[in-house]
Structure 1
Amino acid sequence: MSYNHVDAAMRELIASFSCLEAADLLDRLARTAAAVTGTAYAGFVRVDALRLEADTIHTHAPPGDPQRVRRWLAGSGVLKELATVPVTVRLARDAAVGEPGFLATPLPLATRDHTFVWVAGRGFGDGDEHLLSRFATAAGRALEAASGLEAAVRLLRGVRAFCPAQPPDLPVGGDRIPG
C-alpha cells in the first residue's frame, strides 16, 4: 500500500473515531434518562476516588429550572450522600419543603471514576429504580466505549506522526519495492 493510501486511511480512521464528543454524549444520555423516567431533570455526578466529594458533571434541566433542582442539588446534601454510598439513592418528593424527588444509581464502570446517573422532579418507585439501573448499565458502556475511542485516536495520531513522509524504497503512487 502506498504512503498516500496509508495517510488517507489513517485520516479516515481518526476522523471516524473522533466524531463522538464526550460533552455531547453526556447531554444525550442525560436527556434520554429524563425521557425514559418521565422527568424534566437528569444528569451525572462523579465521586472522587476517596469517596469524600461528589461533583455534578452534567445537568439537563428545562429552561429557567422551574423546580430549582440545580440549587437543590448544590445545597441539599445529596451530593455528600452520593459520595459516601455506592448504591442507588431514592429521595421522596415533598414540594412543601422543596424536595423535588430524586433517584440516582451508580454506573457500572470499570475504567472510570465512580459515577451516578440521576433523575429528579417527581416521586419515584421501584419500577423507576429498576429502569434507571438498566439505563445506567447502557450509559456506562457508552461512556467507556467513548473513552476507548478517544484513547484509540491518541494512539493513531502517534502512529501517523511517526509515518515517514515518503518511504525511500517505495515509488510515488506504487506499492512495490523496485528491484
Structure 2
Amino acid sequence: MPYNRVDIAMRELIASFSSLQAADLTDRLVRTAAAVAGTGYSGFVRVDALRQEACPVHVHAPPGDPLRVRRWLTESGVLKELAASPATVRLAPDMSVGEPGFLATPVPAATRDHLYVWVAGRAFCDGDEHLLSRFATAAGRAMEAASGLEAAVRLLRGVRAFRPV
C-alpha cells in the first residue's frame, strides 16, 4: 500500500479532536465548580425548553453524602423552582429542616434546553453568586466547544470515508 499523507493527516486530526470525552469534561467541570465554591457538592440540572421539568444530569457529592443533598434535590422542590426561574437561585442553609444551602446559576449555552450549574452545602453570598456566574459562562463555552469538536469528528469521518482513493 502506498504512503498516503491525506489518510495519515486525517487519522491524526480525528484522533486529536476525539481526545476530549464529554463525560470527562462534565465531571471535571462539576468537581471544579465545587472547588471554586469551597464546598463538596455540585452538579448540573437540565430544564426542558418549556420550563416545566428539571432533572439533575450530574451530581458530585462527598462519599456517603453526609448532608443528603442527592435526596434533597429530588424531594425539596428546588428542581421545580429551577424549572420556573430563568435567573440565579440562592437558598439559605437551615440544617434543622434539612436545607443544605444552595446556589444555582444558568449556564449560557446555545441549546434548546436550559442548564444550571449548582453548588450546595453552605451559606452563599453575592460574591459566590458572581464567581459561580463567571464559572457558568466558562463551563458553557467549554461544553459548546466539546460539542463542536464532536461534530467536526463526525464530518471528518465522512470526508475520510468518501474520499476517492
Q: TM-score, normalised by structure 2?
A: 0.96
Matched residue SS, 1:93:
coil
Q: 1: CA distance between counterparts of 2:3 and 2:108?
A: 42
CA-CA distance at 1:54 after TM superposition: 0.7
2:42 paired residue number: 42
Please state how far the C-alpha of 1:163 moved relative to its aligned partner: 1.4
Write the distance in 2 (CA, Å) between the matches of 1:81 and 1:97. Answer: 18
Report how far residue 113 of structure 1 moved.
2.4
Aligned ranges 1:5-154 → 2 under 5 Å: 5-111=5-111, 113-154=113-154
CA distance in 1, matches of 2:5, 2:113: 39
* CA distance in structure 1 between the aligned counterparts of 2:104 and 2:157, rounded to whole angstroms: 37
For 1:12 and 1:68, locate their aligned partners in 2 and report how far apart those are by CA, in whole Å: 45
Is the Cα–Cα contact under 8 Å of residues 49 and 112 in structure 2 kept in the other structure? no
SS at match of 1:99: coil
The AA in structure 1 aligned to 2:79 is L
Measure, in 2, the Cα distance between the counterparts of 1:45 and 1:132. 14
Q: Distance in 1 between matches of 2:94 and 2:54?
A: 24
How many residues end up aligned between the 2 structures? Answer: 164
Give structure 1 stretches of 5+ with no counterpart.
167-179
Q: Distance in 2 between matches of 1:104 and 1:111?
A: 18
Q: What's the CA shift string for 1:99-156, capped at 9, x where partnerless?
A: 0000000011124521000000001010100000010010000000001001101111
SS at match of 1:52: coil
For 2:56, give the aligned amino acid.
Answer: T
Percent of matched pairs sharing the same residue: 80
Q: CA 1:112–1:148 in 2, change beyond 3 Å: closer, same or farther?
A: farther
> Which amino acid is 2:108 matched to?
P
Decide which moves more: 117-126 or 103-112: 103-112
Question: TM-score, normalization: structure 1?
Answer: 0.89
Structure 2 partner of 1:158? 158
Structure 2: distance between partners of 1:39 and 1:91: 15
Question: How has the CA–CA distance of structure 1 residues 11 and 104 changed in structure 2, closer, same or farther, with 3 Å as cutoff?
Answer: same
Indicate conservation of the 8 Å contact 1:112/1:144, yes or no. Answer: no
Amino acid at match of 2:38: G
Distance in 1 of aligned mates of 2:10 and 2:156: 7
Query: Secondary structure of the residue that 2:67 maps to in structure 1?
Result: coil
Q: Which amino acid aligns with 2:35?
A: A
Unmatched tracts of structure 2, length 5 or more: none
